[in-house]
Structure 1
Amino acid sequence: MRRLDSTEIVLSRRQILAASAAAGAVAALPGQASAAKEGASDPSSLAFRQPEHTIADTHRVAAGHQAQVLIRWGDGVAVDAPAFDVFAQSAAAQDRQFGYNNDFVAFMPLPVGSLASEHGLLCVNHEYTNAELMFPGLTLKDKTEKLCREQVDVEIAAHGHSVIEVRKNGQSWQVVAASPFARRLSALTTEFQMSGPAAGHDRLKTKADPSGRTVIGTLNNCAGGVTPWGTVLIAEENFDTYFSGDPKKTPESVNHIRLGIKGKSRYAWSRFHDRFDIEKEPNEPNRFGWVVEFDPYDPTSVPVKRTALGRFKHEAATCVTLADGRVVVYSGDDEMFEYLYRFVSRDPIDRKNRRANVGLLDHGTLSVARFDKDGTMTWLPLVWGQGKLTAANGFASQADVLIDARRAADLVGATPMDRPEDVETNPANGRVYVMLTNNSQRKPEQVNGANPRADNRHGHVLELTPPGAGKGRIGRHDAERFRWEILFLAGQRADGATYHPATDKYGAWLSAPDNCTFDNRGRLWISTDQGSNQRKNAIPDGMYACDVDGPGRSLVKFFYGVPRDAEMCGPAFTPDNRTLFVAVQHPGEDKDSTFDRPSTRWPDFRPDLPPRPAIVAITKDDGGPVGS
Structure 2
Amino acid sequence: MRLKRREFLLFLGASLSTASLSSCEDKNLSLDPKSSVKPPKTPLSFQPVKGPIPLATDVVETQVGQFIPIRTASASKQQIQAYKTYEVVDDLVLPEGFTYDLIAAWGDPVGDSRFGYNNDYLSFIETNQNEGYLTINFEYISSATWVQTYEKVIGKSLPIKTIETALKAEKKPRINAFALPANDAVRQAIREVSQEGLIDVGMGVISIRRNSEGKWERTYSAADRRITGISGWIDSRYLKSTGPGVAVFRKKGKGYSDGLGDRIIGTFGNCAGGTTPWGTVFSAEENFQAHVPEDVYPDGTAVNPSETPFSGRLGGLGNVFGLAG
Shorter chain as denominator, the TM-score bin is: 0.5 to 0.7
Question: Bigger radius of gyration, 1 or 2?
Answer: 2
Amino acid corresponding to residue 135 of structure 1 in structure 2? V
The answer (yes or no) to whether the contact 2:201–2:229 under 8 Å persists in 1 is: yes
- Give the 3-state SS of the residue equivalent to 1:68 in structure 2: coil
Give the corresponding residue for 2:41.
Answer: 37
Change in 2 beyond 3 A, CA 1:256/1:37? farther
Change in 2 beyond 3 A, CA 1:34/1:195? farther
Runs of 4+ in 1 over 3 A off after TM superposition: 55-58, 136-139, 141-148, 202-210, 252-257, 261-266
Change in 2 beyond 3 A, CA 1:274/1:36? same
Amino acid corresponding to residue 233 of structure 1 in structure 2? F
Which has the larger helix fraction? 2
Give the corresponding residue for 1:158.
Answer: 200
1:219 corresponds to 2:268: yes
Alignment partner of 1:196 out of 228, 234, 243: 243
- Could you tell me how far apart the structure 2 residues matched to 1:215 and 1:125 are? 18
Amino acid corresponding to residue 159 of structure 1 in structure 2? V
- Could you tell me how far apart the structure 1 residues matched to 2:258 and 2:39 are? 57
For residues 70-109 of structure 1, the C-alpha deviation after alignment (integer angstroms, 9 at most, x for no partner) is 211101111xx5xxxxxxxxxxxxxx11011111100000
How far residue 268 of structure 1 moved from its aligned partner, in angstroms, is 4.2
How far residue 127 of structure 1 moved from its aligned partner, in angstroms, is 0.8
How far residue 213 of structure 1 moved from its aligned partner, in angstroms, is 1.8
- Give the 3-state SS of the residue equivalent to 1:155 in structure 2: helix
For residues 560-590 of structure 1, the C-alpha deviation after alignment (integer angstroms, 9 at most, x for no partner) is xxxxxxxxxxxxxxxxxxxxxxxxxxxxxxx
Change in 2 beyond 3 A, CA 1:268/1:242? closer
- Could you tell me how far apart the structure 2 residues matched to 1:163 and 1:59 are? 23
Question: Taking structure 2 as the reference length, what is the TM-score of the superposition?
Answer: 0.55
Which has the larger strand fraction? 1
- Could you tell me how far apart the structure 2 residues matched to 1:263 and 1:187 are? 17
How far residue 58 of structure 1 moved from its aligned partner, in angstroms, is 3.4
Give the corresponding residue for 1:187.
Answer: 229
For residues 265-303 of structure 1, the C-alpha deviation after alignment (integer angstroms, 9 at most, x for no partner) is 65142552112xxxxxxxx21xxxxxxxxxxxxxxxxxx
- Could you tell me how far apart the structure 2 residues matched to 1:181 and 1:262 are? 35
How far residue 134 of structure 1 moved from its aligned partner, in angstroms, is 2.0
Give the corresponding residue for 2:48.
Answer: 50
The answer (yes or no) to whether the contact 1:35–1:53 under 8 Å persists in 2 is: no
Give the corresponding residue for 1:109.
Answer: 126
Amino acid corresponding to residue 282 of structure 2 in structure 1? L
- Give the 3-state SS of the residue equivalent to 2:290 in structure 1: helix
Q: Is there any run of 5+ residues in structure 2 with no aligned partner, and where?
A: 1-36, 53-85, 149-157, 168-172, 176-185, 233-237
Change in 2 beyond 3 A, CA 1:202/1:154? closer
- Could you tell me how far apart the structure 1 residues matched to 2:118 and 2:205 are? 15
1:63 corresponds to 2:96: yes
Change in 2 beyond 3 A, CA 1:224/1:157? same
How far residue 198 of structure 1 moved from its aligned partner, in angstroms, is 0.8
The answer (yes or no) to whether the contact 1:244–1:262 under 8 Å persists in 2 is: yes
The answer (yes or no) to whether the contact 2:273–2:283 under 8 Å persists in 1 is: yes
- Could you tell me how far apart the structure 2 residues matched to 1:129 and 1:51 are? 28
- Could you tell me how far apart the structure 1 residues matched to 2:265 and 2:143 are? 22
Identity value in percent: 27
Change in 2 beyond 3 A, CA 1:51/1:204? farther
Change in 2 beyond 3 A, CA 1:150/1:204? farther
Matches within 5 A, 1:272-287: 272-275=320-323, 284-285=324-325
How far residue 201 of structure 1 moved from its aligned partner, in angstroms, is 2.4
Q: Which has the higher contact order (CA 8 A, sep 6+)?
A: 1
Matches within 5 A, 1:425-574: none
Matches within 5 A, 1:578-597: none
Amino acid corresponding to residue 283 of structure 2 in structure 1? I
Amino acid corresponding to residue 320 of structure 2 in structure 1? F
Amino acid corresponding to residue 248 of structure 2 in structure 1? H
Give the corresponding residue for 1:449.
Answer: none
- Could you tell me how far apart the structure 1 residues matched to 2:224 and 2:109 are? 10
How far residue 221 of structure 1 moved from its aligned partner, in angstroms, is 0.7
- Could you tell me how far apart the structure 2 residues matched to 1:101 and 1:144 are? 24
Give the corresponding residue for 1:305.
Answer: none
Give the corresponding residue for 2:218.
Answer: 175
For residues 447-491 of structure 1, the C-alpha deviation after alignment (integer angstroms, 9 at most, x for no partner) is xxxxxxxxxxxxxxxxxxxxxxxxxxxxxxxxxxxxxxxxxxxxx
Give the corresponding residue for 1:237.
Answer: 286
Change in 2 beyond 3 A, CA 1:149/1:163? same
The answer (yes or no) to whether the contact 2:135–2:206 under 8 Å persists in 1 is: yes
Give the corresponding residue for 1:127.
Answer: 139
Question: Taking structure 1 as the reference length, what is the TM-score of the superposition?
Answer: 0.30
Change in 2 beyond 3 A, CA 1:64/1:77? same
- Could you tell me how far apart the structure 2 residues matched to 1:236 and 1:103 are? 11
- Give the 3-state SS of the residue equivalent to 2:100 in structure 1: strand
The answer (yes or no) to whether the contact 1:243–1:264 under 8 Å persists in 2 is: no
- Could you tell me how far apart the structure 1 residues matched to 2:95 and 2:247 are? 51
- Count of aligned residue pairs for this structure pair: 209
The answer (yes or no) to whether the contact 2:116–2:199 under 8 Å persists in 1 is: yes
RMSD between aligned residues: 3.6
For residues 378-427 of structure 1, the C-alpha deviation after alignment (integer angstroms, 9 at most, x for no partner) is xxxxxxxxxxxxxxxxxxxxxxxxxxxxxxxxxxxxxxxxxxxxxxxxxx
- Could you tell me how far apart the structure 1 residues matched to 2:298 and 2:309 are? 13
- Could you tell me how far apart the structure 1 residues matched to 2:208 and 2:174 are? 37
- Could you tell me how far apart the structure 1 residues matched to 2:210 and 2:225 are? 20
Amino acid corresponding to residue 107 of structure 1 in structure 2? F
Q: Is there any run of 5+ residues in structure 1 with no aligned partner, and where?
A: 1-32, 82-95, 276-283, 286-628
- Give the 3-state SS of the residue equivalent to 2:99 in structure 1: strand
- Could you tell me how far apart the structure 1 residues matched to 2:190 and 2:249 are? 33
- Could you tell me how far apart the structure 2 residues matched to 1:36 and 1:165 are? 40
- Could you tell me how far apart the structure 2 residues matched to 1:232 and 1:121 are? 11
How far residue 253 of structure 1 moved from its aligned partner, in angstroms, is 10
The answer (yes or no) to whether the contact 2:290–2:316 under 8 Å persists in 1 is: no
The answer (yes or no) to whether the contact 1:226–1:232 under 8 Å persists in 2 is: yes
